[in-house]
Amino acid sequence: MKPLSSFRAVRWVRTLNLLAQAVLIVTLFGGLNYLAVHYAWRFDLTQHHRHSLSPETLSYLKNLTQPVRIVVTLTADSDNDQVAQAYRDVSGLLREYGYATENNGKGRITTDYIDVFQRRRDAEALGITQPNTILVLCGDRQRILDLSSLYHVENQAKKSFLGEHVFTAAILDVVNPAKKKIYFLSGHGEMQLDDVSPARGLSALYAELGARNFAVDTLDLSQTHAVPADAAVLVIAGAQGRYQPEEQELLRQYLSTRAGRVLALIPPMYPHGLDDLFYDWGVLADDVLIYDNGPDGQNGTGDLILRNYASHPVTQQLIDNNVPVRFGPTRSVRPDPGRAPDTNLVLTELIATAKTAWGERNYRLRSIPEFNKGVDLGSPPDQRLTVATTSERVTTNGNLLFKVPGGRMVVFGSADWIANGSLATIGNLSLFLSTINWATDRDIDLKVPARPVDKFQLSLSQNQLSRLRYSLLFFVPGAAALLGFIVYWTRRS
Rounded to the nearest 10 degrees, the angle between the axes of helix 55-62 and helix 81-101 is 50
Whether the pLDDT of residue 166 is over 70: the answer is yes
Whether the pLDDT of residue 1 is over 70: the answer is no
Separation of alpha carbons 16 and 285, rounded Å: 95
Please give the residue that has the higher pLDDT: either 154 or 20. Answer: 20
Q: Yes or no: say if 330 and 357 are a contact pair by the CB < 8 Å rule.
A: no
Q: Which of 17-21, 307-311, 471-475 has the lowest mean pLDDT?
A: 471-475
Please give the residue that has the higher pLDDT: either 357 or 365. Answer: 357
Of 266, 264, 268, nearest in space to 255 by CA: 264
For domain 179-439, give the CATH number: 3.40.50
Q: Which of 69-78, 303-312, 417-426 has the lowest mean pLDDT?
A: 69-78
Q: What is the pLDDT of residue 445?
A: 53
| The amino acid at 395 | T
pLDDT above 90 coverage of the chain, percent: 43
Averaged pLDDT, 301-320:
89
Averaged pLDDT, 104-132:
85
Q: Which of 56-65, 229-238, 277-286, 397-406 has the lowest mean pLDDT?
A: 397-406
- Alpha carbon 293 to its chain's center: 34
pLDDT in tens, 44-53: 666 666 677 8
Please give the residue that has the higher pLDDT: either 38 or 74. Answer: 74
Whether the pLDDT of residue 247 is over 90: the answer is yes
Q: Please list, residue by residue across 144-183, b when 16 or more beta carbons sit within 10 angstroms of its beta carbon and e when fewer do.
A: bbbbebbbbbeeeebebbbbbbbbbbbbbbbbeeebbbbb
Q: Which of 94-103, 367-376, 389-398 has the lowest mean pLDDT?
A: 389-398
Cα dist from 199 to 101, 194, 221, 362, 430, whole Å: 47, 13, 25, 25, 19
Q: Yes or no: say if 331 and 289 are a contact pair by the CB < 8 Å rule.
A: yes
> What distance, in Å, lies between the first and last C-alpha atoms of the chain?
38
pLDDT in tens, 382-421: 899 999 999 999 865 555 444 556 899 999 999 999 999 9
Q: What is the pLDDT of residue 269?
A: 93
Averaged pLDDT, 134-142:
89
Q: Yes or no: say if 150 and 82 are a contact pair by the CB < 8 Å rule.
A: no
Q: What is the pLDDT of residue 305?
A: 93
Q: What is the pLDDT of residue 460?
A: 64
Q: What is the pLDDT of residue 59?
A: 75
Q: Yes or no: say if 160 and 50 are a contact pair by the CB < 8 Å rule.
A: no
Structural domain spans, the chain = 13-42, 55-174, 179-439
Averaged pLDDT, 62-77:
87
Of 113, 116, 124, 128, nearest in space to 69 by CA: 113
The average confidence (pLDDT) of the chain is 86
pLDDT above 70 coverage of the chain, percent: 91
Averaged pLDDT, 46-69:
79
* Contacts with 270 (C-beta within 8 Å, 6 or more apart), sequence order: 239, 240, 241
Separation of alpha carbons 43 and 470, rounded Å: 37
Please give the residue that has the higher pLDDT: either 452 or 326. Answer: 326
Please state the pTM of the whole predicted model: 0.71
Separation of alpha carbons 447 and 169, rounded Å: 11
Q: Please list, residue by residue across 79-100, b when 16 or more beta carbons sit within 10 angstroms of its beta carbon and e when fewer do.
A: eeeebebbbebbeebbebbeeb
Whether the pLDDT of residue 105 is over 60: the answer is yes
Averaged pLDDT, 19-25:
90
pLDDT range class, residue 68, cuts 50, 70, 90 = very high
Q: Select, from the ranges 124-138, 232-246, 419-433, 463-477, the one with the highest average predicted confidence (pLDDT).
A: 232-246
Q: Please list, residue by residue across 309-332, b when 16 or more beta carbons sit within 10 angstroms of its beta carbon and e when fewer do.
A: bbebebbbbbebbebbbbbbbbbb
Of 426, 250, 201, nearest in space to 322 by CA: 426
For domain 55-174, give the CATH number: 3.40.30.10
Q: Select, from the ranges 171-175, 238-242, 290-294, 476-480, the one with the highest average predicted confidence (pLDDT).
A: 238-242
Whether the pLDDT of residue 381 is over 60: the answer is yes
Q: Yes or no: say if 359 and 289 are a contact pair by the CB < 8 Å rule.
A: yes
Q: What is the pLDDT of residue 400?
A: 47
Averaged pLDDT, 204-228:
91
Q: Yes or no: say if 68 and 136 are a contact pair by the CB < 8 Å rule.
A: yes
Order of all β-strands in the sheet with 151-154? 151-154, 157-161, 451-452
